[in-house]
Amino acid sequence: MAGAVRGLSARLRIVSGLLAGRFGRPELCAHETEPVRNLVLTILSQNTTDANRDRAYDRLMKRFPTLSALAAARPSELEEAIRVGGLAKAKAKAILGALARIREERGGYSLDFLRGMPLPEARAYLTSFPGVGVKTANILLLFSFGMPAFPVDTHVLRVTKRLGLVPGASTLAKAALSLEPHVETGDHGPLHLNLIRLGREVCRPRNPLCAECPLLTVCPEGKRNMKGKERIA
């Protein structure tokens, strides 16, 4: 078991280095640095594109410029404002529920108390909110608080499965929790962002560009794909 753990850590270091060689080391740049607003933004990002998330968030903030105004809105008003992002009913319910609970428990709209919590406790608190899963919590903890959380979205999950870093049956949450402890300190953000970029540009869901991939030398599926093409040729 210890050897497997060391192996995963070493493989992630190699993957991170190869990706940095291709894409550089991106800096963390949150769309919203204020944690509660980032929570709202991240809920809006679920099951939609970045462009539609941003449209929904911009419309929401124009209509409800303060968190108190947003918290006082009717569900139907929120749904109308964020409809472009999809799943408007569920997301409006999650946002209003989170704001109401934060206000009730904290006396205002602040999550700054999470800074002093260990990562597992902070994540457990956030995931106790309906509509907030491990991915949403990890995004908030990484981008707003700089914690060593490792968000796994569909791109990261696809790439890490193809690399054999997580089992094929892994969910977003299971993959995140299994990979997170083995990512080097300070590398959670850059590796997360570079895996997303690779998944969008190269390791696509269909017809991945294996011949152009910086991870081909360490990717079992990529090697199989290339051998298959050689046999066809």
pLDDT for res 2: 39
Cα gap 70→72, rounded to integer Å: 5
pLDDT for res 28: 77
- Angle, nearest 10°, between helix axes 35-44 and 50-63? 130
> Which ranges of the chain would DSSP assign to H, the alpha helix?
2-23, 35-44, 50-63, 67-71, 75-82, 88-106, 119-127, 134-145, 154-163, 172-179, 188-201, 220-232
- The SS3 of residue 84 is helix
Q: Which residues of the chain have pLDDT under 50?
A: 1-5
Cα gap 124→23, rounded to integer Å: 33
Chain centroid offset of residue 160 CA: 14
- Which residues neighbour 179 within 8 Å (Cβ) at sequence distance 6 or greater? 8, 12, 150, 152, 160, 165, 166
pLDDT for res 3: 46
Q: What is the pTM of this model?
A: 0.90
Contact predicate 152/196, CB 8 Å: no
**Domain-wise residue ranges, the chain:** 2-25+151-232, 35-145
Over the range 95-110, which residues count as b (16 or more CB within 10 Å of their CB) and which as e?
bbebbeebbeeeeebe
The third-level CATH classification (topology) of the domain covering 2-25+151-232 is Endonuclease Iii, domain 2 (1.10.1670)
Contact predicate 142/192, CB 8 Å: yes
pLDDT for res 227: 85
Contact predicate 167/206, CB 8 Å: no
* Residue whose token pair is 């991240």: 42
- The SS3 of residue 180 is helix
The third-level CATH classification (topology) of the domain covering 35-145 is Endonuclease III; domain 1 (1.10.340)
**Domains 2-25+151-232 and 35-145 alike in fold:** no
Comparing CA positions, the residue from 156, 134, 138 lying closest to residue 146 is 138
Cα gap 134→107, rounded to integer Å: 25
